[in-house]
Structure 1
Amino acid sequence: MPDAPDRPVLLAVDGNSLLHRSYHAFLGSGTRTAAGAATWAIRGFFSQLGLLVDRVAADGLVVGFDDAGNNRRKVTHPEYKATRGEKDPDLVAQLRLAVRVLRDAGAHVVVPEGLEADDVVAAAARDAAAAGWDTVIATSDRDAFALVDGTTRLLRLISGGVDASPVLTRDRMRLLTGVWPEQYRELAALRGDTSDNLAGVRGIGPKTGARLLSELGTVRAALADPERTRVLLGARVAEVFTSAESQEVFARNVELMTPEPVTTGLDLAAGPGRLPLDEHAVRAALERVELGAVCRPAVRALCGLGFAPPPVPSFASAPAPRRPVVVAAAAPARETEWTLF
């Protein structure tokens, strides 16, 4: 995406994704309140959120969460995510707590009825573009690859935390997947998604799917050109690909992977979603869950506070001579561009 220093940036966070990763990454800390409530995932969440705001120089923030009590996709397709086990009670409790703490802090949080965080970040990117903003989506979910465009980048959360996570643009997406972002949903639908319990089209893996879409553009175009499809896939795979059963699987996957419309409630001109947040509100929200002391960097980032210079010592008399201190060489400046892998 070309540099646009005059365009503000909205950070759209998949709250479930970030909190799940924080739950496992900070599990060893075992942080709890004095009353015994688990808070290590909240601690990790705010730590990573502060790093995200800093990394993308965010001017706005929206955090989306799944509706834990209802899921329209599961109602219409019971097999969707059916293989996922029950969440640990401490994780469930911290997912609920995260929403409350963020709202108490003044952050704009959206929990859409019957829908998921994926739907929120997609809608937020749409609303931001309409308001003349750019968007950086932060998530570990590959479905968000399809949302990358001229005004939307994707910070793919991976092991190693925010600093190790790549920022994907349209060109980088092509390098990573072999297709353009606008083709990615069809690639994912052909490949399937084991994490969501969605089988793909038999015989079509990521490489074969990418080759088909790269050459012919869309699945519809491939079906309209059976001879070219047979050349690309081979006669046996082409026969499976064009079957009614395979196309039914493909259509189901596309339906489930397509974001549903969400009203985000963002008002980037004057209200909900703008940064910085009120310092008093953020500190008070974190203090209520006894995390004020360990989340100071997050408070600084979310509230737009600068680093306070260290106090200058004063002496009643001249200080005693000190041994010379060997100063280590300064660390190299951080790169302004991030690698893909």
Structure 2
Amino acid sequence: MTPLLAVDGHHLLYRSWWGFSDRRITSRDGTRDLTGVFGFLAILRKTHLEETPDHEIVVVFDGENAAASRQAQDADYKANRAQADHSAIHSLPMVKDGLDATGVTWIELDDHEGDDVIATLTHTALTDGRTVTCYSGDRDLFQLASDKVTVLNPARRRITPAEVVDRHGILPRQWPDFRALTGDASDNIPGVRGIGPKTAAGLLADGLHLEQLQGSPRLLQPRCQAITETWNQVLTWRNMIQLNHHIPLPRAVTTGHTTPTMPKAATVLEDLHLW
């Protein structure tokens, strides 16, 4: 079966936009900033060629109302991003046009975050007997790592279950529990006061999940009092971090066939008359 390369589209777009901050790429008349679309297509092509040449590519974008369901659980979720510079989004229509021109499949579901769609695509691919590479710098995808799924980060490092254990002292399936305790600044989840990675890993030792900690002697340590005091909130954070792999997907999101080698980014922009 053809392996799947599931790409975190928004992560790659922002990385492309800011990765060339000291050398912008513009149209010949200087009126259009093409840095985001050029970088996106160039990095995706290079990744496919060098890391996953036999894979089928599917690029996944966050929907416009993607965060709403989690913000209903906690209004502070991603609230820190409201004042961030989102200039990269102006390149999104051009990126989508570029993907269409190269025959690369992309998907965006209005009410769903890209991570959940990637989790669903991964679950479906595994059911079909396929292996999966998830391309992203978002560590929440670590929870998907298995003997059939690896996470390829922008530094071209493949995150496997063994790496998650070595670096964080937990199993991939415990990632939501771990991050609920330690926090996730990028999503504005503060975690529990006084609980760092080492303490969290110790509490979750032997593969435990949060529910198995309640009433456990492990929580009798003085520093763990904050966990019991905020128990319901910790469970809410855990549920928010946990990816949903049951998103209804349109038919034929994937073809099961290897994506042909993409043209060079400059060629695509020329064909789209963006230069």
Secondary structure of the corresponding residue to residue 27 of structure 1: coil
CA contact (8 A) 1:9 1:57 kept: no
| Aligned residue among 49, 52, 56 for 1:56 | 52
Aligned to 1:248: 232
> Aligned partners of 1:43 and 1:69: how far apart in 2?
26
CA contact (8 A) 2:151 2:159 kept: yes
Verify: 1:276 aligned to 2:236, yes or no.
no
| Aligned residue among 53, 58, 66 for 2:62 | 66
| Aligned residue among 96, 101, 106 for 1:104 | 101
Verify: 1:208 aligned to 2:199, yes or no.
yes
| Aligned residue among 180, 191, 212 for 1:221 | 212
Using the TM superposition, give the Cα deviation of residue 124 of structure 1 relative to its aligned residue in structure 2, in angstroms. 1.4
Verify: 1:257 aligned to 2:247, yes or no.
no
Question: What count of residue pairs does the alignment treat as equivalent?
Answer: 270
CA contact (8 A) 1:201 1:241 kept: yes
Instruction: Identify which of structures 1 and 2 has the higher relative contact order when contacts are C-alpha pairs closer than 8 Å and 6+ apart.
Output: 2
TM-score computed with the length of structure 2 as normaliser: 0.87
Change (3 A) 1:80 1:195: same
> Aligned partners of 2:199 and 2:167: how far apart in 1?
14
> Aligned partners of 2:69 and 2:26: how far apart in 1?
34
> Aligned partners of 1:89 and 1:237: how far apart in 2?
38
1:121-132 superposed matches below 5 A? 121-132=118-129
> Aligned partners of 1:115 and 1:268: how far apart in 2?
15
TM-score computed with the length of structure 1 as normaliser: 0.71
Deviations 1:23-77 (A, max 9, x none): 1112233212246222111111111111221212342011011113553236413
Change (3 A) 1:205 1:69: same
Verify: 1:141 aligned to 2:138, yes or no.
yes
Equivalent position amino acid for 2:180 in 1: A
> Aligned partners of 1:34 and 1:20: how far apart in 2?
23
CA contact (8 A) 2:180 2:234 kept: yes
> Aligned partners of 2:147 and 2:249: how far apart in 1?
21
Verify: 1:91 aligned to 2:88, yes or no.
yes
1:1-341 superposed matches below 5 A? 7-34=1-28, 36-54=31-49, 55-68=51-64, 71-73=67-69, 75-76=71-72, 77-86=74-83, 88=85, 90-157=87-154, 164-215=155-206, 217-225=208-216, 227-230=217-220, 234=221, 236-243=222-229, 246-260=230-244, 261-265=246-250, 267=252, 271=255, 274-276=258-260, 287-290=271-274
Change (3 A) 1:121 1:191: same
Q: Report the aligned-residue RMSD.
A: 2.6
Using the TM superposition, give the Cα deviation of residue 229 of structure 1 relative to its aligned residue in structure 2, in angstroms. 3.4
Change (3 A) 1:67 1:144: same
CA contact (8 A) 1:106 1:277 kept: no
Q: Percent identity?
A: 25
Unaligned runs of 5+ in 1: 1-6, 158-163, 292-341
Unaligned runs of 5+ in 2: none
Using the TM superposition, give the Cα deviation of residue 255 of structure 1 relative to its aligned residue in structure 2, in angstroms. 2.2
CA contact (8 A) 2:219 2:225 kept: no
Secondary structure of the corresponding residue to residue 194 of structure 2: coil
Equivalent position amino acid for 1:30 in 2: R
